[in-house]
Structure 1
Amino acid sequence: MTTHTQHNSVPKTSVWLAFGFYLLIGFEFFYMISPFAVYFYSVYQPGLEFINNHPSISWLGATFLPHIVSETSSPLLNNITPVGFILTFGGGALFIFGAIQVYWNKLRKKSVVVSGLYIFVRHPQYTALIIAGLGMLILWPRYIVLLSYVSMLFVYYHLARHEERECFLKYGSSYQSYMEKTPMFIPFAQKLPRLPQLLSGNNLARRSLYVIIYFSILILSVQTANLLRSWALDQLYARYDQNSATISVTSLSSDNIAEILAIAMDDDTVREHIRETESTDRLINYIVPLDWSASEIPMQQIEGFDHFGYLPPEEANEHKIVFTRSIPDTEKKLTGKEIIEHSKDRLPLLEIIVNRKSKLVSEILPPLQPAHLESVPLPIF
C-alpha cells in the first residue's frame, strides 16, 4: 500500500537507491562476462584491493559458489546460473511494474494503491528488490555481496515499518484492515509476528533486539555460505594432491585429469618450468577446452568468448592446462582442497596444449603477464 505524503519521500528515495545498489552489483557480473571486464573492474579496484590486502577481511572478496567452471557433478549447480538470471530480471520487472502503478496512481491523483501487485503484498517494490537481490547473489556469490544482501533485508523491513506507521496515522482502521489481510513481503504467506512485538519494553531494549537478530543472521548466513562452499568444491571435476589442486572446467573424470597432467609433466620444458617454483609453493591448475577462456583465470583470453552456457565438444583430444601459483591467505601449510579454500589470488606460470591422442605437449604458450588488477580478488573456481 502506498501513500503520497511528504514523510514518505525518504523511504521511496531509499527504494530507488537500493535498486541502484543492486544494479551496480549486476553490472559487475555482466561486464565480467564481456571482453571489457578488465576495464570495468578498475571501478571496483580500490575497494576490492583494500579487502584483498587485509588478511582479516580478505575472505569477503571470495565466492562461495562456482563462478568459473562450466560443469560440475551437481545438476543443481549446473543450472543455478539461469535461475539467477530469472530472479534478477524477474525482480527488476516487478520493481518497474510496481513503480508504474505508483506513478500512474499519482497521475490519477489517488492517494493510495491497493490494486495490482498490492493485492498480494503490502510492499511489492521491496519484494521485487529482494527477488532481484537474490538473483544477483546467485550470479555473483561473493561473501561481501551476501552480507550486503542480508543488511538490505533489514533496511527494507525498517523502511516498510516506517511507511506502515505513516499509513496507519493517515488512514486508521482502513489501513489496519488492509494489513491484517495482506502479507508484508511474501504473497499468500501467513502474517509473521512483527519484530518489535517479540520483545516488550523500552525503545533501547527493542533496538538491542534488532542488533542481536541482525548480527546473528549475518553469522548464520556466513556459516551457511561456508558449508555451501565446501559442498560446491566437492562437486567440482578436480584432482587434489599434496602440492596442487587441478580443476577441470568441464566434465572430466579424475583418471582423465591425471592422464592429462601426466602428459604435461612428461614434457621436459614443462617439468623444468614447474620445478623452478619454490618447494613451498602450491599450484592451482585449470584444464580447459581449446576454445574456452575466462577473464577470472590468468590465461590468454579469446576475444568475445562467453563461458556461461558453454557446451564442450565430446571426446576432445586436445586440452589447455593453465598452471598458476596460489597466493594463500594464511601461512599454514596447505594440501589438496585447502589450497583452493585458502587461495586469495593466483599468479600465472605456464599455459600449454596437451594432445591426449599423441600423448604429447603440442604447444607451450607464454604465461600471461600480471595485469594492473592483480591485487583485485577474482573467483578461484
Structure 2
Amino acid sequence: MHDTAPAYGLWSLVIVNSVVFILFAYSFFKPQTPRDWRSFSAFSAFLVALFAEMYGFPLTIYFLSGWLQSRFPDVDWFSHDAGHILEMIFGWKTNPHFGPFHILSFIFIAGGFILISAAWKVLYDAQQTRSLATTGPYSYVRHPQYVGFILIMFGFLLQWPTILTLAMFPVLTVMYVKLAHTEEQDARAEFGDAYDKYASEVPGFIPKLSRLFGQESSGGYRHG
C-alpha cells in the first residue's frame, strides 16, 4: 500500500478514464433524443466527479482525514489504495482491489452495462416498427436503461465512495425517475390502452420476484 508513485494529482488519468468510460457508456446507451442526452450527460458528470477524486484531488479523504486517522491510525489515508474507504474501514487492507466491496462493485457495474445494452437492442427493434417494446429487459421493468445507470453508479459508490458522488447519486436517481414519468406520458399518448395494460403488469424500476424466477411473462417500452 506504500510506494513512491504519486497517489493523486494524476489529471491525465482523470481525463483518460473519464473519456474511456463515457465512450464505453455511449456505445451501450446510444443517446438519440434530447431526453436521452440529458440522462447520459448527468451520468457522464457522475463519472467525471468520481475520477477527479480517484486520481486528481481526494476531497473526501481531506474532509474526513481527522476522523479517519483517529479511528484507523494504521492506515495511510493519503495512499491511493486508501481511497477504497469501505475496504479500509472494514479491515480489508492487504489489497483492496480483491476486497468484497470492490468485487461486488464490479458485479453491479457489469450488470448495469449489460442491462443497458440489452434494453437498447429491444428498444431499437421496437422503434423500427413503431411498436411497444415488450421483450427482454422490458418484460421485467418498464425502464431498464435507467435501472442500468443506477446500478452502475451504485457499483462505483461501493468501489470508491466520495462525498460528491454520494450527494449526486440520489439527485440523479430522482432525475431518472422524473424522466421515466415523462416518457410514460409520451407512451400513453402513443400507445393508449396497450401501454396502460403493460404498466399495470410490469413494475417501473424493481422487478417482481415471481417474474425473476420465471413464473410470469409480460412486456415493455421506450427508453429508460
The interval holding the TM-score normalised by the smaller chain is: 0.5 to 0.7
1:4 matched residue in structure 2: none
Shift of 1:9: 2.7
1:201 matched residue in structure 2: none
Distance 1:184 1:151 in 2: 18
Identify which of 145, 168, 189 aligns with 2:188: 168
Distance 1:91 1:187 in 2: 14
- 1:181-209 Cα deviation digits (max 9, x unpaired): 0000011169xxxxxxxxxxxxxxxxxxx
Given that 1:88 and 1:131 are in contact with CA atoms closer than 8 Å, whether structure 2 keeps it comes out as yes
Identify which of 48, 53, 70 aligns with 1:24: 48
Say which SS state the counterpart of residue 85 (structure 1) adopts. helix
Identify which of 29, 37, 41 aligns with 1:13: 37
Say which SS state the counterpart of residue 186 (structure 1) adopts. coil
What is the letter of the counterpart of residue 12 of structure 1?
D
Distance 1:28 1:104 in 2: 37
2:110 matched residue in structure 1: 89
Distance 2:154 2:116 in 1: 14
2:85 matched residue in structure 1: 66
- 1:200-253 Cα deviation digits (max 9, x unpaired): xxxxxxxxxxxxxxxxxxxxxxxxxxxxxxxxxxxxxxxxxxxxxxxxxxxxxx
Aligned Cα RMSD in Å?
3.5
Distance 1:72 1:120 in 2: 38
What is the letter of the counterpart of residue 162 of structure 2?
R
Shift of 1:24: 3.1
Instruction: Note the 1:109-124 alignment, pairs <5 A.
Output: 109-124=129-144
Shift of 1:17: 2.0
1:366 matched residue in structure 2: none
Shift of 1:109: 3.1
- 1:50-99 Cα deviation digits (max 9, x unpaired): x999xxxx46xx9997267497179xx94111001111122122112222
TM-score, structure 2 normalization? 0.59
Distance 2:202 2:177 in 1: 15
Say which SS state the counterpart of residue 114 (structure 1) adopts. coil
Change (3 A) 1:146 1:109: same
1:180 matched residue in structure 2: 200
Identify which of 161, 167, 170 aligns with 1:141: 161
Is the aligned partner of 1:101 residue 2:122?
yes
Shift of 1:104: 3.3
Distance 1:149 1:129 in 2: 10
Instruction: Note the 1:30-45 alignment, pairs <5 A.
Output: 32=54, 37=55, 41=56
Shift of 1:167: 1.1
- 1:233-282 Cα deviation digits (max 9, x unpaired): xxxxxxxxxxxxxxxxxxxxxxxxxxxxxxxxxxxxxxxxxxxxxxxxxx
Change (3 A) 1:65 1:52: closer
What is the letter of the counterpart of residue 21 of structure 1?
A
Given that 2:87 and 2:100 are in contact with CA atoms closer than 8 Å, whether structure 1 keeps it comes out as no
Q: Which has the higher contact order (CA 8 A, sep 6+)?
A: 2
Given that 2:132 and 2:191 are in contact with CA atoms closer than 8 Å, whether structure 1 keeps it comes out as no
Given that 1:123 and 1:184 are in contact with CA atoms closer than 8 Å, whether structure 2 keeps it comes out as yes
Instruction: Note the 1:256-267 alignment, pairs <5 A.
Output: none
Given that 1:95 and 1:129 are in contact with CA atoms closer than 8 Å, whether structure 2 keeps it comes out as yes
Given that 2:86 and 2:101 are in contact with CA atoms closer than 8 Å, whether structure 1 keeps it comes out as no
Given that 1:22 and 1:136 are in contact with CA atoms closer than 8 Å, whether structure 2 keeps it comes out as no
How many residue pairs are counted as aligned between the two chains?
159
What is the letter of the counterpart of residue 66 of structure 1?
I
Structure of larger gyration radius: 1
Given that 1:118 and 1:124 are in contact with CA atoms closer than 8 Å, whether structure 2 keeps it comes out as yes
What is the letter of the counterpart of residue 91 of structure 1?
G
Shift of 1:148: 0.4
Distance 1:169 1:183 in 2: 19
Distance 2:84 2:139 in 1: 36
Distance 2:107 2:161 in 1: 16
What is the letter of the counterpart of residue 44 of structure 2?
G
1:308 matched residue in structure 2: none
Distance 1:86 1:142 in 2: 20
- 1:110-140 Cα deviation digits (max 9, x unpaired): 3431211100000000111111111011111
Given that 2:61 and 2:83 are in contact with CA atoms closer than 8 Å, whether structure 1 keeps it comes out as no
